[in-house]
Amino acid sequence: MIFQNTLSYARELDSKDPLRKYRKEFYFPKVKGSEVIYFTGNSLGLQPKRSQAFVDEIMKDWKEMAVEGHFHADKPWWDYHERLAAPLARVVGARPAEITVMNTLTVNLHLLMVSFYRPTRKRYKILCEEKAFPSDQYMFRSQVKYHNLDTEDTIIEIKKREGEHFWRTEDVVAKINEIGEELALVLIGGVNYYNGQVFDMKTITSAGKSVGAYVGWDLAHAVGNIELELHDWKVDFAAWCSYKYMNSGPGNASGIFINEQYLNRSDIPRFEGWWGTKKETRFLMQPEFDPMETADAWQISNAPVLALAPYLASLELFEEVGMPSLIEKRNTIVAYLEFILQEIDKEVASSFEIITPKERGTQLSVFLHGQGKPLFDYLMEQGVITDWREPNVIRLAPAPFYCSYEDMYRFGQILKSGILKK
């Protein structure tokens, strides 16, 4: 596609965009009375307008039925979470039985490590990417200490090559083979939060499993962003949060995937609670734990229905649109943003460097050489919400659900004026 850095061209792209009507499904914050250009859907997705009604429904049922709402609400609360499994399964490429929604992301990763990280004297090492998201690093170290192992010896980080901003699949695979039978677990962020790189999950999963390790993925930046085929890739387990590209609201509930082969297996341990027991007998309050036959067996507490409501609303939107059309628009809008950056770079004779490799989703991470925090602040004042990382990287994620091509054009103009002003 031959792009042009003009308003009329951007508007033409918008007029041909099959998803353009979905922009109106979301609330945009305003700066100086105008809707912002929102690049941080990778951090907190915008609020879908329809989510309010889903929350109100629960509030109303609670007001009018109180405890009876558990069984007699239109959407009963006792198995409300089950409504999310099928639509989420379509987003992540799984079978509905492999999915459940519970707790929050780091908590779920801990719980999944209970099931899938069971170090032995010989096989105990964990492989992750260097500079993993901090919460994941804290999780790894605390798990390793919990097992009385040495963190230095146990946690192996895959490094980038000198002078490169991305990880190479061949380096990951080589590391897996090098650790071999000492490798207990591979757990990597499927899309790296910093450089936006999409890992080759299929190849890495298969390499990890071929040396006898479990392979899990933290999909915080992947879900709702890239194509996932968790079941077909034979991933062992995965977890993600729902407040980034899934637009379900701040700090909201996390989804998990557990490969079908681990369901109904008494040799896979887990931490248990009453919401994991069979629905039919749950309220008989029996001493025996009789697990659900799905990933719901990992449920512990009764479901936070008020939190699940906006997640369900958001999934309704994903059902309507489908990942393939989101991905199609994503590819074009990100390519257009990249083009705009290159054009502005030429015009202002600056030196932007896009550090996101070609294996990418919605996010571009850009080094703004010679620019500092004042540029970011200027963008904010002008109603462009980006994410700033020291020393001078901005992360730009034009979520295809609600960002427009005109946003990309306008961003370019504001960026240019910010740089020239200096």
Q: Is 228 in the site for ligand PLP (CB under 6 A)?
A: no
106 near ligand PLP, rule: CB under 6 A = yes
Sequence-ordered list of residues with C-beta below 8 angstroms from that of 332, at least 6 positions apart, any chain: 1, 13
- Answer whether 330's CB lies under 8 Å from 18's CB: no
Which one among 41, 48, 69, 189 touches ligand PLP, defined by CB under 6 A?
189
Interface size with ligand PLP, residues (CB under 6 A): 12
* Nearest CA-CA partner of 141 in 254, 201, 132, 190: 132
Place of tokens 């980038």: 160
- DSSP H helices, 66-168, are 69-72, 85-92, 105-116, 134-146, 151-154
- Residue 230 Cβ, how far from ligand PLP at the closest point, in Å? 16
Rule CB under 6 A: is residue 193 a binding residue for ligand PLP? yes
Task: For residue 104, state whether it binds ligand PLP (rule: CB under 6 A).
Answer: yes
- Is 133 a binding residue for ligand PLP by CB under 6 A? The answer is yes
Q: What angle do CA 230, 233, 239 make, to 5 degrees?
A: 30
Taking the least distance from each CB to ligand PLP, the nearer of 221 and 329 is 221
- Kindly state the smallest distance separating residue 346's Cβ from ligand PLP, in Å: 33
Report the DSSP pairing between strands 47-48 and 26-27. antiparallel
Residue number with CB closer to ligand PLP (193 or 237): 193
Q: Using the rule CB under 6 A, which residue among 105, 156, 246, 379 binds ligand PLP?
A: 105
Q: Does 383 bind ligand PLP (CB under 6 A)?
A: no
Site for ligand PLP in 235-264 (CB under 6 A): 241
Give Cβ neighbours of residue 280 (< 8 Å, ≥ 6 apart): none
What is the distance in angstroms between the CA of the first residue and the CA of the last residue of the chain?
33
Write the CB contacts of 104 (distance below 8 Å, at least 6 apart in sequence). Answer: 241, 251, 252, 253, 254
Separation of alpha carbons 95 and 294, rounded Å: 10
Site for ligand PLP in 271-330 (CB under 6 A): none
Taking the least distance from each CB to ligand PLP, the nearer of 5 and 42 is 42
- We find the least distance from the C-beta atom of residue 307 to ligand PLP, in angstroms, to be 12
Kindly tell me which of 126 and 263 has the beta carbon lying closer to ligand PLP: 126
Q: Does 136 bind ligand PLP (CB under 6 A)?
A: yes
Question: Is 395 a residue that touches ligand PLP (CB under 6 A)?
Answer: no
According to the binding rule CB under 6 A, does residue 221 interact with ligand PLP? yes
From 186, 220, 394, 403, residue interacting with ligand PLP (rule: CB under 6 A): 220
Are the C-beta atoms of 247 and 26 separated by less than 8 Å? yes
Which positions lie near ligand PLP, rule CB under 6 A? 104-106, 133, 135-136, 189, 193, 218, 220-221, 241
